[in-house]
Amino acid sequence: MKFPTLLRPLLMVLSTWLLSTIACADNKAELPLASQAPSLYTGFEQLLDDDKTLVMEELIDLDANIRRVALYHNGDRLHRQIPKQVHLMIENKLMHRIMESGRFEVIQCIECRTTQVAMRADKLEISHAAESNQALRALAKHVRADAFIFWNASVHDDKFTINLRMVDGRNNQLLWLKEYSKKTTREQEEQGFDSANYEFTVGAWGIDGSRKNSVTNNSEEVNGVTVFGLRRRETTSLDDSLEYTLAVEYFRNFSNKDLFNVSGINLEGRIIADIPSMDKLIDTKVYLGIGQAFFNDANSLVFRFGFEFPFFSDGFMDFGVTYLPESDVQWEKKSGYEETGKFGGSSYDLTLGVRF
């Protein structure tokens, strides 16, 4: 677009004013959203703190030469709908999650955050650092980045969404893309709960049971029971390294069923704590649980302690010990065997679970 010569000085003044307006756009955009800022902050914080967000196992199969990455925000920078403090929190958490994986080196790319305003040939131009594929390759070479992680955040009807794309800085190849979203309500924010998940578990206890042969006076034994469970797991904003579960479990024996009929229910509460010192090796958590079990006309407390390890993106494994004080129990009638016996003791605790 051509402008008369007399208007050029005025356009230069206007371009200077526009540049300062863009520089202050973050602060101006925050004013109408000031009352919503805590809600936006909490919503995106919950999303980024979720174990299912940015699981590094999803990036394991990428080219091993992709080591140095830079974050590039490709959202609308002139009409920001996300307040600046929320924007910075999202970017910081993304960088932290990527760095703690040990898979990538994250570099600070100042050019990736710059919006340029210039007057060229009587034209007012507003541009970003990477306006084309060629410019992106040049930027990658300039900042020595193997790849860029483009990100954008949005919120609609209490649904918080973050879109991520990894692009090769050498040839603009799309290496990986993912969308993460989470819906929350103000009631959940006021309660302070960051997330709540349900889990289905299958496990094994090595607890023994016995009954005597009334003819030979020898004891027969059953070794181990299989456990099926449903858990509700929650984290709170008070301390995101602590989690709490409430579980209902059913256990029974599948071996030596001719002589033994172990069948019971366990109601358990559990606290789970993260072990940050193990994060560089494997994400490890320690758990301590106590429950009340009802089985074969008996009841007893159940104590459990052990470690939890991740298994795929939505799964986990528990390895620990279980202690159920030995109790007198009733067995089904069987010719030549006593109807009462023992069940309980200490044993291993092995569990495989999946979240949904």
pLDDT in tens, 91-137: 898 998 888 878 889 998 888 877 666 666 666 565 666 778 888 89
pLDDT at 113: 73
Phi, psi of 133 (to 5 degrees): -60, -40
325 has a pLDDT exceeding 70:
yes
Name the nearest CA neighbour of 113 among 129, 125, 99. 129
* Range scoring the smallest mean pLDDT among 29-43, 147-161, 220-234, 284-298: 29-43
DSSP per-residue letters across 268-318 = EEEEEEE-GGGTTT---EEEEEEEEEEETTEEEEEEEEEEEEEETTTEEEE
Q: Enumerate the domain spans of the chain.
A: 5-190, 192-355
CA dihedral defined by 302, 306, 312, 315, rounded to 10 degrees?
20
Q: Enter the pTM of the model.
A: 0.52
- What pLDDT is stored for residue 304 in this prediction? 98
* Residue 119 in tokens: 């007057």
Please give the torsion angle defined by the CA atoms of residues 137, 139, 143 and 148, in that order, rounded to the nearest 10 degrees: -70
pLDDT of 26 strictly over 50: no
Q: What percent of the chain stands above pLDDT 70?
A: 78
- Return the CATH architecture of domain 192-355: Beta Barrel (2.40)
The answer to whether 303 and 325 are in contact (CB under 8 A) is no
pLDDT for 12 beyond 60: no
If you average pLDDT over residues 280-296, what whole number do you get?
92
**Can you give the pLDDT at residue 59?**
74
Look at strands 159-168 and 219-236 and give their pairing: unpaired
- Three-state DSSP class for 3? coil
Q: CA 93, CA 87: separation in Å to the nearest integer?
A: 10
